[in-house]
Amino acid sequence: MRKIVSNVSSPFTNITKWLVNELQKFGNFDGFSVKNTFDFVDKVKNIEIEDDEIMISFDVTALFPSIPINEAVEAIRNHLLKFDLPPEKTKTYIDCINICMKHNCFQFRDSFYSNDFGCSMGNGLSPYVAEAYMCKFESDLKKEGKLPSIWHRYVDDTFAVVKKSEADKILATINNRFHSIKFTFEKEDDTLHTLPFLDLEIKRKGKNVEFSVYRKPTSTDRYITNDSYCAYNQKIAAFHSMVYRLCRLPLSVESYMKEYQQILHIADVNGYDKLIIDHLIKKHSKKLKLSNISTLFDQNTSSNKHRVTLPFTPNITNKLIHVFAKSEMSIVHTNNNKLKSILGSTKDNIPTNRCSGIYQISCSNCNKKYIGQTRRAAEVRFNEHHRSVKKKEIDKAIAAHIFDPNNDSPHKITSFDDNFKLLKKVNKPNKLDAYESIHIYINNNLMNLEPGPIDSKLFSAIKKENR
């Protein structure tokens, strides 16, 4: 079982984000990693493989949980020393990395555990730390002359060309390097001389290699169908990716036509017309041709735009696209009708008294209620309100209601179970103000002394719909 730690809203989330942005300024580590499929192809398309050599794909078993943190942090320190940074700045980076990587806790079946070894899946800094260690791992082997001459790694998958007689020896060498880092490997097919790697199938042709697109045998060719209630750009996103790969890879005529027919088949299965695929091919071919002519055509301006998330409602959002575009904003559509909302969560249920979000406290003697927000456990917040009543702090909303001299009979709040109700669980603090304002706006008979923190004309539409 792999330990997955959610860092959402944790004390280290912002530190992790800051660290990743800072550390990326110092470039890549000295290693043999590739960025993506196309980077890999550019590096291996001209290699020559002798008759006594074989293609092998190495894979690290459970990479993140196997990374030794101390060795990885030392590799990062050595990398930073190349840039002549002030000692106190380097120390700050290393101290922050240690804090983020060595204080990872997770919950399972109402018990809390501390992750003492390896990188946690879910920690935003784990990919960077894992990459630092793997680059050090490779560089050390290279210095000792134990790394194959052709060795290209993408995260935990590595393509290598080695002598046929030395394959098992190389596997033993890299497996004995560190006790937690273990590799498995897959050799090229003896008959077809092919090897799957990433989303490619690499085939030997003489001393050179050819590429074709690889799909796993378990592939169902099912994507978002044409009749799905989704934005059009989301529906064809997968086809954009497939067509770009088709146009970008240096495929032979035979491999190109085979992949083209496969894309047409996938389009047909999912209810799309062939003309859509042909249009995408023309579009991507033209863009790639222009980018090869000059870098002027390869400027990405979309990165300057801000993205706004809105529910997919075609009659409204399709019109808003042009309005938002004038302010350099683009709309990202969402759809709340997802499988996870039907199937439920596999995580441990958190008791109401330990949840955060928007809550309601009702009076035991009338229909008045108070609506508020809390980032802490709900029961903690309720006890604070109960304490303010005991102290008769009439400047607080609930106490002001209970001790109102105009009340005909005594009013009170008795217990958490009797008077407290969680209206909505909210895990992200930046959404609390909005949800609290909405619930205050759509409810009546409130004890609240002040309106919600946000005032918007959109609330009138929400209230009308709620009624």
Position 227 in a domain: no
Of 47, 40, 180, give the one whose Cα is nearest residue 118: 180
Residues contacting 356, CB < 8 A, separation 6+:
374, 375, 376, 377, 378, 425, 426, 427
Q: How far apart are CA 269 and CA 238, in angstroms?
A: 14
Give pLDDT, residue 30.
84
**Do 371 and 333 sit in the same domain of this protein?**
no
Residues contacting 149, CB < 8 A, separation 6+:
161
- What is the amino acid identity at position 81? L
Residues contacting 212, CB < 8 A, separation 6+:
200, 201, 203, 251, 252, 255, 258, 259
Q: How far apart are CA 185 and CA 174, in angstroms?
A: 11
**Do 287 and 408 sit in the same domain of this protein?**
no
Please report how the helices 274-293 and 237-248 are oriented relative to each other, as an axis angle in degrees rounded to 10: 50
Give pLDDT, residue 334.
85
**Do 193 and 256 sit in the same domain of this protein?**
no
Write the pLDDT tens digit of every residue in 286-326.
999 888 876 665 555 555 678 888 888 888 888 888 888 88
Give pLDDT, residue 462.
60
Contact 271, 226 (CB under 8 A): yes
Last residue of a domain, one of 313, 341, 369: 341
Whether the model pTM is above 0.85:
no
The number of residues making up the chain comes to 467
Give pLDDT, residue 467.
45
**Do 117 and 28 sit in the same domain of this protein?**
yes
**Do 433 and 450 sit in the same domain of this protein?**
yes
Of 250, 246, 309, give the one whose Cα is nearest residue 278: 246
**3-state SS, residue 332:** strand
Of 236, 57, 75, 28, give the one whose Cα is nearest residue 160: 57
What are the backbone angles phi and psi of residue 382, rounded to the nearest 5°? -65, -40
Number of domains in the chain: 4
**Do 251 and 354 sit in the same domain of this protein?**
no
**3-state SS, residue 41:** helix
Position 7 in a domain: no
What CA–CA distances, in Å, run from 235 to 23, 161, 226, 240, 322? 36, 39, 7, 10, 20
Position 53 in a domain: yes
Q: How far apart are CA 334 and CA 211, in angstroms?
A: 36
- What is the amino acid identity at position 194? T
**Do 321 and 355 sit in the same domain of this protein?**
no
DSSP 410-430: ------HHHHEEEEEE---GG
Of 178, 200, 173, give the one whose Cα is nearest residue 36: 200
Position 220 in a domain: no
Domain holding 144, by residue range, is 13-213
All residue ranges of the chain with pLDDT < 70 are 1-3, 9, 294-304, 460-467
**Do 277 and 314 sit in the same domain of this protein?**
no
Per-residue tokens: 345: 């969560």
**Do 336 and 417 sit in the same domain of this protein?**
no
Element (H, E) at 58: strand 53-60
Position 54 in a domain: yes
**Do 92 and 192 sit in the same domain of this protein?**
yes
**Do 416 and 449 sit in the same domain of this protein?**
yes
